[in-house]
Amino acid sequence: MTRLRALLWDVDGTLAETERDGHRVAFNQAFEALALPWRWDEARYGELLRITGGRERLLHDMTTRGDAPPTAGEREALARELHALKNRRYGELVREARLPLRGGVRELIDEAEDGGLRLAVATTTSRVNVEALMAVHFGPRWPRRFAAVVCGEDVQAKKPDPEVYRLALAGLGLPPQETVAIEDSPGGVAAACAAEIPVVVPLSAYFRAATIEGAVAIGPGLDERRGWRPGLAGAGAGRVTLADIEGWCAARDTVSQFG
């Protein structure tokens, strides 16, 4: 069995439920700040998550609105302004509300460090958003805990393109079979699989019913042993551990939450 040497973490939806309770709220506050009558409720934002990237979501949404600017250039300029406003407000929300990490995340990160594994961040969200969340939960020196941090500004193509994971692997200096990605969404799983990285999926709020293929394990959360595919021995109280992840990778069958 190949030794596991690193965990690669997605951020939004994986480390914390930031999409529903952070980014969506901040987008609506940005609309209000510019006196736009647009609002994204939870259902609409869930639909828009099929589009990777906040600015890209704005541009897609504008194609459905009769009151959006008429030209591509005007829409692009408005999307840039809204996205910048959203990112500033998101940072304030994270600091004010201290959006919590998902259950089991901190424990698995601590266990990995104690076991000598390296950690990386592989996300296509904006770096300012990553820094806001990580500083709240891991302190101002959080980058010292992560051997590689790849964000949206570092890539030409966002997930499901595998570029972000290939850059993270290069930063770690490791082959994909010695790492595991922790992801929550179909696009993130597709990106990791295209980089030949095994993927464990604690499904987030917006992707409970999504079709996800190619992961080595799919389940409700890292703080829950019940409900995982493949199932865990002693699936009672407790959390997902490194030993569980290593076992899934050793078996290396890909699974779906539907079959």
CATH classification of the domain holding 80: 1.10.150.240
- Same domain assignment for residues 76 and 109: no
- Same domain assignment for residues 235 and 122: yes
Last residue of one domain, picked from the residues 97, 123, 156? 97
1 lies in some domain: no
pLDDT in tens, the chain (259 residues): 578 999 999 999 999 999 998 999 999 999 999 999 999 999 999 999 989 889 999 999 999 999 999 999 999 999 999 999 999 999 999 988 778 999 999 999 999 999 999 999 999 999 999 999 999 999 999 999 999 999 999 999 999 999 999 999 999 999 999 999 999 999 999 999 999 999 999 999 999 988 899 999 999 999 999 999 999 987 667 999 999 999 999 987 666 654 5
User: What count of other Cβ atoms lies within 10 Å of the Cβ of residue 43?
Assistant: 8
- Same domain assignment for residues 197 and 252: yes
Write out the H or E segment, with its range, that includes residue 118: strand 118-122
- Same domain assignment for residues 130 and 246: yes
Residue 140 domain boundaries: 6-17+100-256
The count of domains in the chain is 2
The yes-or-no answer on residue 12 being catalytic is yes
The yes-or-no answer on residue 10 being catalytic is yes
Last residue of one domain, picked from the residues 42, 69, 97? 97
- Residue 71 is classified by DSSP as S
Cβ contacts of residue 166 below 8 Å, gap of 6+? Answer: 195
- Domain containing 111 — which CATH number? 3.40.50.1000
- Same domain assignment for residues 63 and 112: no
55 lies in some domain: yes
- Same domain assignment for residues 88 and 117: no
150 lies in some domain: yes
Give the burial string for 133-158 (b: 16+ CB within 10 Å, else e): bbbbbbeeebeebbbbbbbbebbeeb
- Same domain assignment for residues 92 and 168: no
- Same domain assignment for residues 239 and 135: yes
- Same domain assignment for residues 51 and 175: no
Q: Which of 10, 161, 184, 244 is catalytic?
A: 10
- Same domain assignment for residues 199 and 107: yes
- The SS3 of residue 200 is strand
- Same domain assignment for residues 174 and 62: no
Q: Which of 12, 61, 161, 244 is catalytic?
A: 12
- Same domain assignment for residues 46 and 133: no
